[in-house]
Amino acid sequence: MTDLKFDTLQVHAGSSPDPATGARQTPIYQSTAYVFRDADHAARLFNLEEVGFIYSRLTNPTVAVLQERIATLEGGAGAVCCSSGHAAQIMALFPLMGPGKNVVASTRLYGGTVTQFSQTIRRFGWSATFVDFDDEDAVRAAIDDDTRAIFCESIANPGGYVTDIPAIAAIADAAGLPLIVDNTSATPYLCRPIEHGATLVVHSTTKYLTGNGTVTGGAIVDSGKFDWMASDKFPSLSQPEPAYHGLTFAEALGPMAFTFHSIAIGLRDLGMTMNPQAAHYTLMGIETLSLRMERHVANARKVAAWLEGHDAVKAVTYAGLPSSPYAERAERLYPKGAGGLFTVALKAGYEGCVKFVDSLELFSHVANLGDTRSLVIHSASTTHRQLTEEQQIAAGAAPDVVRLSIGIEDADDLIADLEQALAKVSA
Ligand SMILES: *Cc1c(COP(=O)(O)O)cnc(C)c1O
């Protein structure tokens, strides 16, 4: 059957009954290595002439099902899973960058990504130039001869901001550069960045794709559409790759070049591999992705609207609210909803936020998002406490702001919990 819809693909894509046992659920293939049929078979696998399993640092049958599932849901040519969302980001940049090269990145990113890009990648000789992605001229101006990628989030953590992906993709295209979109907060149910012109999509599968707060993981999806041979900027893909006996990936593997490079060199040499247990938990979660996202969005809309009308609340930033400056863009590009994450600022300031978070009963105070459970964090006293107040404000984590990740519980129960906690703040 062809032309299957999202709800069908999230359950079936990439999987079929186990050929050996008939097992209907994808088994956890807990095996490090796979027996070669003969020496010729082994040679063909190592030459990438035949697809198969060699060693689980590179490929594993359980992980392979998840890779195909995610690639299908995102509308990509192929996908590679890795050990975390942060691993996926490094792995996505790895074939593109080199010493002295830079990535032009949005200022509105997950806090951990800001640190990874502004500090840690410098050790590889890479750098990031941060710019406001609402200012298209500034994005164009930030691109120089050493730029090798453009990076943004679709719905940017901690919420309230949605990126105009088609506009950014047009800039990347004109510059002959790949656009990488972190689609963690939106998920392919709410946004498919490749349809809007993205080259690569990265995920923290830790969040909504798994959905139940059990395992960390990441994924890179390649659209298969970027022409790596069009310039001399991407020699790892367009020229003989010395790290793989001189294979020219773009020539030998066409639209699967990036995916195979990420496995044959990225996973082989960086070793940021997803384990089959994690893949299994994520496969279980992804089967219900659309059902959960619909509820996350419906609950977030209801809770955000209620909070916006509360006396103790200074501001709510949720692109799904008509009052948001991004309401029109969200409606146009994210018609199924603006996700389940947003921030709320309290009139009672830092101390009020601490009291609020401590008074909540259903919401868990954790450094995570995208769980079935509702979560809350006061960034200024936790994840962002090392930053100056100025940096906290720039990161959307001002002292009077808390971030909510709205779960799939009954929205009225969530509102009742918020109401009793806000009453304690005002008392
Ligand atoms: C959590 C997160 C990451 C990092 O993912 P890990 O799985 O924690 O490494 C990256 N981007 C976004 C938007 C995230 O929410």
pLDDT of residue 386: 77
* pLDDT tops 70 at residue 186: yes
Please tell me whether residues 308 and 412 are part of one structural domain. Answer: yes
Look at residues 263, 285, 307 and tell me which one is the last residue of a structural domain: 285
Question: Which of 10-19, 88-97, 150-159 comes out lowest in average pLDDT?
Answer: 150-159
Note whether 342 and 260 are same-domain residues. Answer: no
CA 182–ligand 1 middle distance (angstroms): 9
Contact 131, 102 (CB under 8 A): no
CA of 107 to the centre of ligand 1 (A): 16
* pTM of the predicted protein model: 0.96
Is 339 found in the same domain as 264? no
- Residue 341 located in a structural domain: yes
Probe target for ligand 1 pocket from 116, 184, 191, with the most ligand atoms within 8 Å of CB: 184
Domain extent for 27: 6-285
Residue 252 forms part of a structural domain: yes
Cα of 78 vs centre of ligand 1, distance in Å, is: 21
Asked if the structure places residue 351 within a domain, the reply is: yes
- pLDDT of 142: 98
Given a cut of 70, whether residue 299 has pLDDT beyond it is yes
Q: Name the percent of the chain lying above pLDDT 90.
A: 88
Task: For ligand 1, pick from 81, 83, 86, 342 the residue to mutate: most ligand atoms within 8 Å of CB.
Answer: 86
Give the number of C-alpha atoms closer than 13 A to the C-alpha of residue 269, restricted to the C-beta side: 11
Answer whether 344's CB lies under 8 Å from 400's CB: no
Same domain, 193 and 296: no
Indicate if 120 and 153 belong to the same structural domain.
yes
* Atom from ligand 1 closest to the CA of residue 88: 9
DSSP helix/strand/coil, 307: helix
SS3 182: strand
- Answer yes or no: is pLDDT of 62 > 80: yes
Residue of 204, 209, 273, 369 with the most ligand 1 atoms within 8 Å of its CB, for mutation:
204
Per-residue pLDDT at 169 = 98
204: CA distance to ligand 1 center in Å?
5
Determine contact, residues 163/49, Cβ cutoff 8 Å: no
Q: Of the residues 241, 265, 285, which one is the last residue of a structural domain?
A: 285
Whether residue 321 contacts residue 343, with contact meaning beta carbons closer than 8 Å, is answered with: no
Q: How many domains does the chain have?
A: 2
Q: Under a CB-based contact definition with an 8 Å cutoff, are residues 229 and 57 in contact?
A: no
244 C-alpha vs ligand 1 centroid, how far in Å?
30
Residue nearest to atom 5 of ligand 1 (CA): 85
CA of 208 to the centre of ligand 1 (A): 11
Asked if residue 50 and residue 174 are part of one domain, the reply reads: yes
* Same-domain status, 213 and 293: no
Model confidence pLDDT, tens digit, residues 262-287 = 999 999 999 999 999 999 999 999 99
Look over the chain and give the mean of its residue pLDDT values, rounded to a whole number: 95
3-state secondary structure of 150: strand
**Above pLDDT 70, what percent of the chain?**
100
CA of 230 to the centre of ligand 1 (A): 32
The rounded Å distance from CA 41 to ligand 1 centre is: 38
**Looking at residue 82, which CATH number applies to its domain?**
3.40.640.10
Tell me: do 204 and 300 sit in the same domain.
no
Same domain for 126 and 44, yes or no, is yes
Position 345 pLDDT exceeds 70: yes
Q: What is the radius of gyration, based on Cα positions, of the chain?
A: 22
Cα–Cα distance for residue pair 127/108, rounded to 1 Å:
17
Average pLDDT estimate for 57-64: 97
Q: Which residues have C-beta atoms less than 6 Å from ligand 1?
A: 84-86, 110, 112-113, 153, 157, 182, 184-185, 204, 206-207, 216, 218, 369
Residues 174-186 have a mean pLDDT of: 98
CA of 63 to the centre of ligand 1 (A): 19
One domain, residues 277 and 318: no
| Closest approach atom of ligand 1 to CA 109 | 13
The pLDDT of residue 60 is above 90: yes
Is the domain of 299 the same as that of 267? no
Residue 385 has pLDDT above 90, yes or no: no
**Candidate from 71-75, 102-106, 201-205, 364-368 with smallest mean pLDDT:** 364-368
**Tokens in use for 10?**
């999230």
Position 233 in a domain: yes
Atom of ligand 1 nearest to the CA of 218: 7
Residue (of 268, 114, 239, 253) closest to 182 by Cα position? 114
Model confidence over 26-56: pLDDT tens digits? Answer: 999 999 999 999 999 999 998 889 989 999 9
Rounded to the nearest whole angstrom, what is the distance from the C-alpha of residue 393 to the centroid of ligand 1? 20
330 and 251 assigned to the same domain: no
- Ligand 1 center to 133 CA (angstroms): 20
**Which atom belonging to ligand 1 lies closest to the Cα atom of 86?**
9
Closest C-alpha to ligand 1, atom 4: 85
Expressed in angstroms and rounded, the spacing between residue 206 Cα and the centre of ligand 1 is 7
In testing the pocket of ligand 1, which one of 84, 110, 180, 215 has its CB within 8 Å of the most ligand atoms?
110
Considering the domain boundaries, does residue 92 fall inside one? Answer: yes
Work out the average pLDDT over 76-80: 98
pLDDT at 158 over 80: no
pLDDT digits (tens, 9 = 90+) for 81-92: 999 999 999 999
Record the tokens describing residue 232, joined without a space: 């001399």
Q: Which of 93, 207, 282 to mutate to test the pocket of ligand 1 (most atoms within 8 A of CB)?
A: 207
Asked which of 232, 260, 285 is the last residue of a domain, the reply is 285
Residue 1 covered by a domain:
no
Q: CATH number of the domain that 327 lies in?
A: 3.90.1150.10
Q: Which atom of ligand 1 is nearest to the CA of 87?
A: 9
Residues 380 and 402: their CA atoms lie apart, in Å, by 8
CB atoms within 10 A of CB 349: 14
What pLDDT is stored for residue 159 in this prediction?
66
CB 379 within 8 A of CB 348: no
pLDDT at 120 over 70: yes
Which helix (H) or strand (E) segment holds residue 204: the answer is strand 200-204
pLDDT digit string, tens, across residues 349-359: 999 999 999 99
